[in-house]
Amino acid sequence: MTTDSIKWFGYSSPQTFFPLAGRIARICAVLAVVFGVAGLYTGLFVAPTDATQGEVYRVIFIHVPAAWMSMFLYVVMAFWAAVGLSFNTRLSFLMARALAPTGALFTFIALWTGSLWGKPTWGTWWVWDARLTSELILLFLYFGFIALQASIDERRRADRAGAVLAIVGVVNIPIIYYSVKWWNTLHQGASVSFTKAPSMAATMFTGMILMALCFWMYSIAVALTRVRCEIAENP
Amino acid sequence: MILTASRTLVRRDLLLALRRRSDVATALLFFIIVASLFPLGIGAEPNLLRSIAPGVIWVAALLSSMLSLSRLFAGDHADGTLEQLVLGAAPLGVVVASKTLAHWLVSGLPLVLIAPLIALQYDVAAELYGVLAVSLLLGTPILSIIGAIGAALTLGLRGGGVLLSLLVLPLYVPVLILGAGAVEMAGAGLSPSGQLLLLGAMLIVAAVFAPWATAAALRISLE
């Protein structure tokens, strides 16, 4: 391999990746704290009170970034699964495996904070809104992936079976989303929509972006640490 | 060659099912029993029954077809036939598609045929029977095709049945929505063609791509 190109496949070996992952994880953990403090400060103290919703709206600083991450992490997971199946690299499967619990966590947080917001605003913990329903199904998909890997003892089969499931899942997510959306409009359920929200103050947007960066860094740090634990367990 | 292999496999699987008729009957009885439980739990108010009928029939069909999924590869896996099929000359995707077709003929088609009887119990208007039958005819093959991926992934695992439902049921959501939605649209006096066309499109896409995912999953499970 020439010196000027990045050693893509060099770092695909768990042994060389282990120290690199440690360094990246440490940097990302620090950044997550920095972004988190800045984001929470902006969200809780700097951002103005919403004219219609009052203080309740501040849950979006957790809720919206968590919902973004929940969907994004599934795609990243499926990407690593596809890389693993194509190049037969064990590290890619480890990445997919390490991302799943974090993705499920963010999906759960998005649902949970959503219902905390929904109770005072909509007057109910849960509505069968298209976004809520598809987020719930996304949580089931994460659980399916984790459960499948947990129930196969043989590592190689567990990794590959999980990879096939993740790819099938990622193909299905848009179909599920649109079918649920259509089902909801058909039923004429609660006609409350996120999309009709009034235009957002700049500080609110900054707070949300900072929190999104915080969750992003947190996901990288936690996933890489989990990969390091997996490598240390079966080198 | 491929067509011959496919035909032979379908005939063989149908013959096997014919020799073990109780398996087929069990899934069908399950469908009828689940559908009959809802009025007992919810109450037999005719208007209510009429409005929940499409959903109940579709959910019962979903559960029933899922229950019979684990049999799709389990028998052949236990006696070693599956390994021979994987090693054989016919492409594994074709083998999988043929087995799935046979599975649907045995477990899905009876549901389509018995569904009007359930609809009768729920006092569904007679003009909706056609839409219900068409939606099931288009939808139940998708259940078998997608379910085959789950069946291949969970092949020979402990607690495979429960795990299979966890993997497969979220993927069944669009079929449930479109299938039950078509009947509801027709019930509301609107044209159900949108839902039925989408179901047809999903059937075609699933039939083309899913067998290859199932084949990959089978290779992983058997290696």
Torsion angle of C-alpha atoms A40, A41, A46, A51, degrees rounded to 10:
30
Determine contact: A179 vs chain B, CB below 8 A: yes
Contact criterion met (CB < 8 Å) for A161 and B220: yes
- CA–CA separation, A148 and B104 (whole Å): 25
Min distance B219 CA to chain A CA atoms (Å): 10
- CA–CA separation, A215 and A69 (whole Å): 7
State the pLDDT at residue A4.
55
* Domain span holding position B122: 2-222
Determine the residue type at B41.
G
Contact criterion met (CB < 8 Å) for A176 and B184: no
State the pLDDT at residue B125.
87
State the pLDDT at residue A125.
84
- B135 near B196, Cβ under 8 Å? yes
pLDDT tens, chain A, 235 aa long: 445 566 667 777 888 888 989 999 999 999 999 999 999 998 888 887 777 777 778 888 899 899 999 999 999 999 999 999 998 888 999 999 999 999 999 999 999 998 888 888 888 888 887 778 888 999 999 999 999 999 998 889 999 999 999 999 998 888 888 887 777 665 444 444 455 455 567 788 888 899 999 999 999 999 999 999 989 987 6
What's the gap between Cα A53 and its chain centre?
Answer: 27
What mean pLDDT value characterizes chain B? 91
Q: Which residues of B touch A175 (CB under 8 A)?
A: 174, 202
Determine contact: B167 vs chain A, CB below 8 A: yes
Residue A153 has φ and ψ, to the nearest 5°, of -75, -40
Contact criterion met (CB < 8 Å) for A144 and B223: no
Which residue of chain B is at minimal alpha-carbon distance from A162?
B153
Helix/strand/coil (H, E, C) string of chain B? CHHHHHHHHHHHHHHHHHHCHHHHHHHHHHHHHHHHHHHHHHCCCHHHHHHHHHHHHHHHHHHHHHHCCCHHHHHHHHCCHHHHHHHCCCCHHHHHHHHHHHHHHHHCHHHHHHHHHHHHHCCCCHHHHHHHHHHHHHHHHHHHHHHHHHHHHCCCCCCHHHHHHHHHHHHHHHHHHHHHHHHHHHHCCCCCHHHHHHHHHHHHHHHHHHHHHHHHHHHHHHC
Contact criterion met (CB < 8 Å) for A140 and B170: yes
Q: Which residues of A touch B135 (CB under 8 A)?
A: none
- B29 near B79, Cβ under 8 Å? no
How high is the ipTM of this complex? 0.88
Q: Quick one: tokens of A181? A: 């959306």
State the pLDDT at residue A188.
44
Min distance B19 CA to chain A CA atoms (Å): 33
State the pLDDT at residue A185.
61
Min distance A139 CA to chain B CA atoms (Å): 9
What DSSP line would sit under A33-53, residue for residue? Answer: HHHHHHHHHIIIIISPPBTTT
pTM of the model: 0.88
State the pLDDT at residue A190.
42
- B180 near B193, Cβ under 8 Å? no
What's the total number of domains in chain B? 1
Q: Which residues of B touch A85 (CB under 8 A)?
A: 216
Q: Considering CB atoms only, which of B159, B169, B221 is closest to A161? A: B221
With b for 16 or more beta-carbon neighbours within 10 A and e for fewer, the B35-59 pattern comes to: beebbeeeeeeeeebbebbbbbbbb
Determine the residue type at B77.
H
Positions in chain B short of pLDDT 70? none
